[in-house]
Amino acid sequence: MPRTNSVVFLAAELRDNAYEHVAGELRRLGMTGLAPSHGAILITLYREKALSLKDLAVHINKKKSSTTELVDKLIRLGYVEKTTSEEDQRVKLVRLTPKSLSHKEDFKTLSANVNGRVFKGFTDEEQQELVRLLAKSLKNY
C-alpha cells in the first residue's frame, strides 16, 4: 500500500505516463506537432464550438498567457482560427477549422482510451470517488 506522503509523486507519475501515451497516439494518428495540452483545447472546442481566450483558459484550467501560446501554435498548425464575435466586435473567438473537425472522432477515441487505461479495474464508484478526491485536493491549491 503506497504511503499517503507519496500522493504527489503518484499523481505526477500518472500524469507523465498519460502524457507519453497521448503524445505517442497523436504521432501514430499523424498529428505531428501537437502536444497533449493542445488536445485539451481541441476537446473543449469540440464541445463548446467557439470561446474567447479568457473563457478557454478557464475551461482548460490554464493561465491566459499559456492558453494564448497553445492557441497560437494550433493556429500555425491549422487546427483553430480566431474570429470576431458577432455579439461583441471587441471579442476574438477561437474556433475549430475543418482540419481539426476531421480529427474529432480520433480525439474522442483517444480520450476514451486514456480514461479506460486510467480506470482499468476500477468500479464505477471507485472512479467517481477518485475524481472527487482529486478535485477536492486540487482546490487546496
Q: Tell me if the pTM is above 0.85.
A: no
CA distances from 9 to 31, 119, 129, 135 (A): 30, 18, 19, 17
Q: b/e string for 30-49 if b means 16 or more Cβ within 10 A?
A: ebeebebbbbbbbbbbbeee
pLDDT tens digit sequence for 2-15: 666 788 899 999 99
In the chain, where are the structural domains located?
Answer: 4-138
User: 1 or 117: which carries more pLDDT confidence?
Assistant: 117
Provide the CATH number for the domain formed by 4-138 in this structure: 1.10.10.10
pLDDT tens digit sequence for 59-103: 998 999 999 999 999 999 999 999 998 888 888 999 999 999 999
In degrees and rounded to multiples of 5, residue 80 shows phi and psi of -140, 165
pLDDT tens digit sequence for 36-59: 999 899 999 999 999 999 999 999
